[in-house]
Amino acid sequence: MSSGLNIAALAKRTGIAPDTLRKWEQRYGILRPTRTEGGQRRYSEHDVDRVVWLKARLDEGYRIGEAADLLGVEALETGTSPQQLARLVFEAAARSDAGAVNRLLDHAFALELGVACAEVVQPLLIAVGESWHAGQMTIAQEHLVTSAVRARLERKLAEVRAPVHGRAVLACAPGERHELGLLMLAVSLRADGWEVSYLGPDLPVAEPMTLARDIGAALLCYSVGTQEAAAALESGLSGSERPPGTQLLVGGLAANAVLAGRIDARHINGDLAAVVASLRSRAEAPTAGRMMDTDEPSDAGNVEVM
Ligand code: B12
């Protein structure tokens, strides 16, 4: 049987009536359902994203035909490559073209989530940030991109999905303002069936820990992008009482196996897909209770390098 949403579920998710969706599908070919063995249409997350994108254009005043054209024409102009899309957003930001930044990012987020994050957003943020660090892009241009990315990631995070694997709390270490990598992890975990509490940048170490304890979280993630934040995390954790049954995970640019070993946390090398898959396989393991049973064999002091 083919998985996916039926038209009623698609209508519920997008707020567009089933009749309208059928018309959009037949007239503009903007939905690409698969069929069940019984011949019923099943819509994908990609279809949801396209409808949400079109709805946003209608709210801006476009007619549906224009919006559908825009979806096709811009996709054609930008080519199909996510790398090109990242470059076009970068160029749009460099000429302070907020409209193009937003439209192109809408395209990026209409791609499959993993592709959007790993192949568009991540290289884009690095290019934009490096350009800002080098004094080529202004703070305003950098913020234009980061807030547009943040808004879309937060929107994804707010999408309701049934929790399956357990609860996860995510926060940046004290002083840490590089938050978008962690937000991408939050969205990826949410999409994979975790109930996520994303707390954002610059948190005192004890706050996420208290929340994790209160809600019985299986996973507590800290992000460190700078050495200063890594040091602040380490000192905040020393002597603190860990929530029982909660696994501590550390990541970000300044995280490594050595730091993880020192703070008795886990560090997973690899991209977000690898991180999410590793966490999922743990959660699904028959012996896994809340993911870190005390009798579970430790992987080198809870440090894992894949
Ligand atoms: C964009 C950027 C900024 C933006 C951040 C915008 C935002 N709201 O997030 C702004 C402009 C605010 C900024 C500020 C600063 N920055 Co800056 N910044 C960058 C830049 C260019 C990209 C960071 C980024 O967003 N990458 C994309 C994301 C998606 O990648 P990521 O964060 O690494 O996350 C990935 C993984 O690490 C992982 N991940 C992240 N967290 C977690 C957590 C867990 C548990 C797991 C499993 C995985 C995980 O998921 C992501 C996907 O794989 C980097 C350079 C670079 N090459 O990365 C410098 C960089 C990180 N910044 C740096 C510095 C020095 C600063 C400033 C001190 C500059 C200044 N003089 O003010 C400030 C510090 C702010 C602070 N207190 O935190 C240095 C850090 C050096 C260091 N290691 O100590 C870098 C490396 C630049 C450099 N080459 O010197 N920066």
At residue 286 the predicted structure's pLDDT band, cuts being 50, 70 and 90, is: very low
Can you tell me the distance from the alpha carbon of 7 to that of 282, in angstroms, rounded to the nearest whole number?
34
Can you tell me the distance from the alpha carbon of 56 to that of 169, in angstroms, rounded to the nearest whole number?
30
At residue 305 the predicted structure's pLDDT band, cuts being 50, 70 and 90, is: very low
**pLDDT (tens digit, 9 = 90+) per residue, 38-87?**
878 888 887 888 898 889 889 989 888 788 777 764 443 444 588 888 99
Residue 114 has what pLDDT? 86
Which one-letter DSSP state was computed for residue 43?
Answer: B
What phi and psi values does residue 106 have, to the nearest 5 degrees?
Answer: -60, -40
> Residue 104 C-alpha to ligand 1 middle, in angstroms?
23
What phi and psi values does residue 24 have, to the nearest 5 degrees?
Answer: -60, -40
pLDDT of 140 higher than 70: yes
Write down the mean pLDDT value for the chain. 84
> Residue 178 C-alpha to ligand 1 middle, in angstroms?
5
Can you tell me the distance from the alpha carbon of 9 to that of 24, in angstroms, rounded to the nearest whole number?
16
DSSP state letters, 129-168: HHHHHTTSS-HHHHHHHHHHHHHHHHHHHHS-----SEEE
> Residue 171 C-alpha to ligand 1 middle, in angstroms?
14
What phi and psi values does residue 38 have, to the nearest 5 degrees?
Answer: -80, 5
Can you tell me the distance from the alpha carbon of 163 to that of 161, in angstroms, rounded to the nearest whole number?
6
- CA distances to 8, 54, 266, 294 from 61, in Å: 26, 11, 49, 57
Q: Could you tell me if 285 and 247 are in contact, meaning their C-beta atoms sit under 8 angstroms apart? A: no
Report pTM. 0.77
Can you tell me the distance from the alpha carbon of 265 to that of 267, in angstroms, rounded to the nearest whole number?
7
Q: Which atom of ligand 1 is nearest to the CA of 268?
A: 47
Cα–chain center distance at 61: 29
Q: Which amino acid is at 202?
A: D
- Residue of the nearest CA to atom 59 in ligand 1? 129
Q: What domains lie within the chain, and their CATH numbers?
A: 7-156 (1.10.1240.10), 161-284 (3.40.50.280)
Comparing CA positions, the residue from 209, 291, 222, 207 lying closest to residue 255 is: 222
**pLDDT (tens digit, 9 = 90+) per residue, 82-102?**
888 899 899 989 989 888 898
Can you tell me the distance from the alpha carbon of 166 to that of 217, in angstroms, rounded to the nearest whole number?
7
pLDDT of 260 higher than 50: yes
User: Which tokens is 91 given?
Assistant: 């160029």
pLDDT of 284 higher than 80: no
Q: Which residue has the tokens 């709210």?
A: 59
